[in-house]
Structures are given as structure tokens and as C-alpha cells.
Structure 1
Amino acid sequence: MARPTVFITGATSGFGLATARYFAQEGYALIITGRREERLRKLADELSQLAPVHFAAMDVRHIEQVQQTISELPLPFKNIEVLVNNAGLALGASSADQAKLSDWHTMIETNVTGLVNVTHALLPILKQQPKASIINLASIAANWAYPGSHVYGASKAFVAQFSRNLRSDFAGTGIRVTSLEPGLSESEFSLVRFNGDQAKYNAIYEQTNPLQPEDIAEIIGWIAQQPAHININSLEVMPTSQAWDNFKVIKQNTNNIIA
């Protein structure tokens, strides 16, 4: 029997890297993708000791690269059973009026357009499988507004709603769809958000005991390995140090208000 295959975007760091290692240990064949070819090559060398690995450098924002990667998959890697749409990013944490428009565009192109590109290109393959899973990495920012989230949170809300809509389209078929919504997590993701500022990165995680990429990888594996009749629609997960405590009441000076 052929091994089931998992297709992972953004596999060069963070959740994607940990997820690739998890599925390799579980005996899946791996297709690992990302923009940094040297990191992919190194990871493929590491994981090929455990499982078959195919890697492809691609940018999910560019549909031509996505389609070429999928069209050139070697035959042993074509029975893709699990798609992990992990590629995504946040840029900046300032208020909307101080944000760069270019950062907004990059987040939309990666978190929304990129996820749509990969999903659409792989649906014909996923539909052929007796059981298939699409696991989309959203965020608690999809559900809860907070200062500095603006386009990032909106893009993740798209991911969550897109997941629900796909779930509706494929109800009764072999395709399951999940929106996975992590909270505070420690990974290179945050370093990118703060433009490489290590001090800001450290301040975010100080005394928080955040989620680790390995935690999310194990949850992704658990979702994918549920029996075929079970669909995890959405799953929000936070570290115990985090809760819904970011709502602010701003007291205003009303002395000058005329009734």
C-alpha cells in the first residue's frame, strides 16, 4: 500500500517545519514547500532518513509557481491525503494609521491569495482520495480583535470563513476541512512581524510559556488522523497564560460635551 502524502506550505520554519518532522515520524511521504530552497534541501536531507521527501521552492503568492510545482510532482507523491496550508505572515504591530500599505498588500497576497492558490490547485487530487484533510492555519486573530491586528486579523478571518465554506461544499465527501486557530506561539513568525527586532520578540514571550511549533504540529497530526467520519470544523488553542483580556475601555474627558 502506498504511503499517504502530506503537502505542507511554509515548511522552512515554525509550524511548517515542526509539522514536517511530525509527519515524517508518522510514516507519511512528504512534499515540503517554501521560498528558501537551501532550508528545504537541508530539511529534506534530514527527514529522508525517516520517510520519502520531495521538496520544491515556490512562493504561494504566484499561481504559476504553485501550478508548476504540482504538475511536476513525481508519481509516488501524487496521492496527497493531507494539505497543510501553513504559509503566512504578519507584518508590523502598530496602529492602522502607522502601518505600511505595502505590508498590508503582502499579508493579503500571502495569507489569502496564497492559500487560495494552493487549495484550488490541489482540490482535483484531494477529491480522488478516499479520505483527505485540508488544514488551514488561521489564528485567534480571526475571532478576536486587538490593537495592531488590522489586516493580519482580517486575513485570518478570511481563512476561517473560507474553511467553513469549503466544509459546506464538501459535506458528505471524503474531504474534511479544519480551521486551526492558535494563540500566542513562539516561532520565527514573530521575529518577522517585528522586522527582526530581537528585543521586541523577547518582550512578547517573557514569562508567558507560549505555545511551541511542536504543540501545533501534534494538533495538526491529530486532526489529520481522525477517523474518516469525523471533521474538526475549527479549533482555537491558546497557552494557559493567555485569555480574552485585551478589551479596553478608554475613559474620555466629557467636560466639554454640550448636551
Structure 2
Amino acid sequence: MKGTAFITGATSGIGEACAILLASNGYNLVLCGRNQPKLNQLKNKLSQHVDVHTLCFDIGHTDQLKEITKKLPEAFQRIDVLINNAGGAHGLDELDHSSISDIDQMIDVNVKGLLYITRMVIPCLMRSNGGHVVNISSVAGKQPYGKGVAYCASKAAVEAISESLRQELVPRGIKVTNIAPGAVNTNFSTTRFKGDTERAARVYQGFSPLVAEDIAETVLFCLNRPSRVQISDMTILASAQSTATTIHRADL
């Protein structure tokens, strides 16, 4: 058994792909998300192979986070891997036309939620013989673009958190990896466009985007490096993507 991985945003997209892949590689799991039926479904599927515990809460609601780690059973009190995956984009508008609630949601989940969860899980990581924090950022945190001010800012914050956290945790024997995906075909765009599936589908037309499993495999690669190796930062783009906003769409 490889140890225990604590995954936020585990009920869909990259988080779900990480859960499935890590379970197949012998990791016990703490799966976090807002959808209890989906958490139950994943637990039933993956607990055939590994031990799984679920925590249902909204990472954007700080009042729900205060006692999270205290709810972990004894067998899950030692965490070997924290994957901060929960996050998302809401809206694609110039700042003066952006919804205040969208801005709040992105800051509360992408930044504050990540900080709070990490703060509470660090003591569990300290019980491991060499823990590992993996933050799922975005190419938008490195290459900000118009109509994405709040989202880009939130992901730039994740980049800064990863750098600062590494300086704090490396002396404690804990690695920190920042992974910045480009265009990944998950429910990301459907969420950004408020459930408009047709508009979301157009984001991925004319090229082959990344899929969630590509990022999960990258996470596993980083976790499997020898103890002497720490992957500090990785940017992963689709073959047709050259920058955050530049994609070669051959069929259009």
C-alpha cells in the first residue's frame, strides 16, 4: 500500500481521475466534494481495491472546514498526499461586467479554500514519512488574459502559495508540486458558462484537448519520483496549444 491521498474536488474531472488512478496504484483515499451521492458511488467502486473515506462539504464555505480533519477516522489520520484540486472558473466577462458572486466564488474556492484545507491537513502530513502536496493551478496563473481577471488572479495566487509553501514544508520533509494544466476537456467550461453546454463544447472544437486522465497521470508521475527528486512546477498543454489563449484549430 502506497499510503493515503486526500483529494478535494474528487467527484468529477481531474479530481475523479486522480482518485481512480491512485486507487489502482494502491493508495487509500479521502475523497472530498459537495455531491454525497457521487462520493458514495466512487467509494463503492474504489473500495473494492483500497480503503476509502468520504467527506461532503463545500470548500468555499469556511464554516464547513473548521473541523474537517477531526472527522477523519483513526485509520485516516495520517495523510501522505494532499491533492488540492477543487476550483473553477465562473463567467468570462470584463471585470466591470463581472458578477460579484462569481468573483467571490473563485476567491473563496480557488484561494481561501485551498489555504484552509492545506492548513488543516499539514498536521496529518507531518505524521507521514515524507508527505507531498500537489496543487492544481492553471496556465492562466502564469499567463493572465482579459475577461478572466478574477480567475487568473486566483490561479496566480495558487502559484504563489505553492512557492511559499515549498519554502515552509521542505525543511519538514514534505514536497510541494504545482501543476498548471492548459485546456482540459472536463466540466470546467460548462461551469464557467453557467451550464451552457453548446458554448462550452465550442471551447474544445477544432483540436484535441487534454483529458482529465492526462493530468492524473502527471500527478502520479510526480508522486512516484524517488525521495531525492521534487518536481516543483509543471505546465501541461495540449499539442495544439501554445499559450493560455492561443490554440491552433486545424478543422475550423
The TM-score with structure 2 as length reference comes to 0.94
Aligned mates of 1:75, 1:228 — CA distance in 2: 26
Aligned mates of 1:5, 1:31 — CA distance in 2: 7
Aligned mates of 2:75, 2:2 — CA distance in 1: 9
Secondary structure in 2 matching 1:56: strand
Extract unaligned runs of 5+ from structure 1: 248-259
> Which range is displaced more, 229-238 or 80-89?
229-238
Say whether 1:212 aligns with 2:208. no
What is the one-letter code of the residue matched to 2:189?
S
Once the two structures are TM-superposed, the CA of residue 72 in structure 1 deviates from its matched residue by 1.6
Aligned mates of 2:245, 2:214 — CA distance in 1: 24
Aligned partner of 2:157 in structure 1 is: 158
**Structure 1, residues 69-121: CA drift from partner, whole Å, max 9, x if none?**
31021111122100000000100112222211110011000000000010000
Aligned partner of 2:173 in structure 1 is: 174
Secondary structure in 1 matching 2:170: coil
Contact 1:93–1:193 at 8 Å: present in 2 too?
yes
Secondary structure in 2 matching 1:39: helix
Aligned mates of 2:239, 2:8 — CA distance in 1: 28
What is the one-letter code of the residue matched to 2:87?
G
Contact 1:136–1:159 at 8 Å: present in 2 too?
yes
Contact 1:61–1:117 at 8 Å: present in 2 too?
no
Aligned mates of 1:186, 1:135 — CA distance in 2: 20
What is the one-letter code of the residue matched to 2:52?
V
Aligned mates of 2:218, 2:176 — CA distance in 1: 14
After TM superposition, which residue ranges in structure 1, 4 or more long, deviate above 6 angstroms? none
The TM-score with structure 1 as length reference comes to 0.91
Aligned mates of 2:61, 2:40 — CA distance in 1: 21
Between the aligned residues of both structures, percent identity stands at: 36
**Structure 1, residues 123-169: CA drift from partner, whole Å, max 9, x if none?**
11112211111000110000102222100000000001110001111
Aligned partner of 2:103 in structure 1 is: 104
Once the two structures are TM-superposed, the CA of residue 61 in structure 1 deviates from its matched residue by 2.4
Aligned partner of 2:145 in structure 1 is: 146
Extract unaligned runs of 5+ from structure 2: 247-252
Secondary structure in 2 matching 1:112: helix
Rg comparison, structure with higher value: 1
What is the one-letter code of the residue matched to 1:121?
M
Aligned partner of 1:195 in structure 2 is: 194
Once the two structures are TM-superposed, the CA of residue 3 in structure 1 deviates from its matched residue by 4.9
Aligned mates of 2:54, 2:42 — CA distance in 1: 9
Contact 2:182–2:244 at 8 Å: present in 1 too?
no
